[in-house]
Amino acid sequence: MRLQLLCAARCATCNRILYLRSFSTHLLLRGSTQRSPILLHTRPCLAKTQESAIAGIVTMRYERGLPVISIPLPSRREICQFSLKPISDTVFNLCNYLAAEDKGIDFVAFYTIEGTRIAGSTSIEHLLQLGDFRLRINDITYEVNVPPTQNGITSLVELSSERFRSLDDMKATVASLHTIFNIDEFKLDRER
């Protein structure tokens, strides 16, 4: 006969509330002096693995060509993922994104591996080109390893940088052509 449980119990290891529908093989129920039963994990508790992930690991990867950084938030003790735009985002923007996501963050700064602070106006593109860096949130410092480009193919960051430069050149050419073609009209308007 299978026992149906429609109650909630707390894990004695991680103190999380788990809602049980049926008895599972990896959970062990013991009676307690309180009204609700005590729940123990017979496998390693999931909360412990999450705490080890929060202890100091910041991961960075490329997803659909854009850099994605996963950062542990101090207040909620969970990992949050940020998708970055290499050209338009800056270090200051990323600091603001972090502060907006977790109100418990008082201080955010980026440093090179040597310990030099990276300015907020530095673009994410340039930050990634610098290589590995350190991220300090409140009193905790994380080391971030920037992944290399895959299989010798140039990354989206390099491609977008070249495209951006060619767009700047084209804008300058259009502006100079506009000035040349409209100079006669400007002189006529000025004479009137």
- Please report the pLDDT score of residue 65 as a whole number: 79
**CATH code for 54-147?**
3.10.20
pLDDT digits (tens, 9 = 90+) for 5-45: 344 454 544 445 444 443 444 444 444 444 444 444 444 44
Query: Per-domain residue ranges for the chain?
Result: 8-45, 54-147
The region of weakest confidence among 39-48, 54-63, 82-91, 115-124 is 39-48
Tokens of residue 132, six digits: 């590995």
106: how many CB neighbours lie within 10 A of its CB?
10
**Cα–Cα distance between 99 and 163 in angstroms, integer?**
32
pLDDT digits (tens, 9 = 90+) for 39-71: 444 444 444 334 434 456 888 888 887 889 999
The region of weakest confidence among 16-20, 132-136, 141-145 is 16-20
